[in-house]
Homo-oligomer: A and B are copies of this chain.
Amino acid sequence: MSDHPKTPVVPVVPVEAFEPPYYVAVFTSVRSQEQDGYGETSARMEELVKDVPGYLGMEHAQTPGGLGITVGYFRDADALTRWRTDAEHRVAQRRGRAEWYESYTLHVAKVERSHGFTRAETRRDPRAD
């Protein structure tokens, strides 16, 4: 395949601790045996979400056992609604339930406090306890 989607660039620094309140969407999933088109759609969604006003960032990791954890960060509930109801995203959601996911859980939550720690420089938030 000459044009298969690039592997998403994995951040080596955690998404920052934004100023609360903001929203996190925690999406945990186990994929099915049917993965045709998943990679392309996933890469497309990763690009598309960046256009959502209020989108702050996203992180994804996966266990060897197949549990995936995706965390999306959004400025407010409206931003999340825009992403949830995006027409192209809705098509992807439907296809996900029909084909790609064995099971998933979505938790939408309002961040009340956050802090970050960086070894080299703790300027981001010195209250790192």
Q: How far is the CA of A118 from the CA of B103 in the complex (A)?
A: 4
Report the contact-size class of chain A (Cβ under 8 Å from the partner).
35 or more
Smallest Cβ-Cβ distance to A68: which chain B residue:
B61
Report A100 CB to chain B, min CB distance, Å. Answer: 10
Check A59/B66 contact, CB under 8 A, given A105-B17, A105-B114, A113-B108: no
Q: Is A79 an interface residue (CB 8 A)?
A: no
Copy number of this protein in the oligomer? 2
Is A45 interfacial (CB-CB < 8 Å)?
no
Contact B108 A16 (CB under 8 A): no
A117: CB under 8 A from chain B?
yes
Looking at chain A's contact residues, is the secondary structure mostly helix, strand, loop, or mixed? strand
- Which B residues are in CB contact (< 8 Å) with A103? 13-14, 116-119
CB distance from A33 to the nearest CB of B (A): 11
Contact present for A117 and B129 (CB under 8 Å)? no
A102 proximal to B (CB < 8 A): yes
Is A30 an interface position by the 8 A CB rule? Answer: yes
Q: How far is the CB of A46 from chain B (nearest CB, A)?
A: 14
Q: Within 8 Å of chain B (Cβ to Cβ): is A1?
A: no
